[in-house]
Amino acid sequence: MTDAVVVGGGPNGLAAAIVLARAGRSVHLYEARDTLGGGCRSAELTLPGVVHDVCSAVHPLARSSPLFRELDLEQRGLEWIEPLIQIAHPLDDGRAALIYRDIAESAASFEDDHDAGIYRRWVEPLVHDWELLVSSLLGPIRPTALARHPFALARFGLPAL
């Protein structure tokens, strides 16, 4: 008899199935696609050799997951592909805000000093405190997580209000 059924082989479904299996549960995972990975998948969609991002906009968060780090997925064949431009957001005037892996380069793409400053004030604390925040944001939900790094979490969360 199956203890758990997980629908979807994306990062969250895979994580759930792994945690349940490690706890001794029998798990069946169902994925509609031919490949696992969900929104983190890439594929040759147009031309041979041209790899496209199928859906992922935030797969670096999966890469930062304490569970996925522990699994050492790179040793099992996973290759994380990091594009030069991480995100492009079209603006009403025909331009686009471009997000790079580098904060300064991203801020410079805004062309407006005010917007660049807001971006820096929002992102720099997150990057600075990332290793403190990652276990609280991407790990198991625990009441003690807030108590471990309250100021880092406040610097991250308050600008969202």
Tens of pLDDT, residue by residue over 91-103, are 888 888 899 989 9
Contact indicator for 8, 38 with CB cutoff of 8 Å: yes
The predicted-structure confidence for 56-87, as pLDDT tens digits, reads as follows 666 667 788 888 888 888 898 888 877 888 88
Q: Is the pLDDT of residue 112 over 70?
A: yes
Cα separation, 45 vs 57, whole angstroms: 17
Query: So where are the chain's domains?
Result: 1-82
4 pairs with which residues across the strands?
27
What amino acid is encoded at 11 in this protein? Answer: P
pLDDT at res. 145: 62
Q: Which of 114, 82, 76 is nearest to 101 (CA)?
A: 82
- What is the value of pTM for the model shown? 0.69
For the domain spanning 1-82, the CATH number is 3.50.50.60
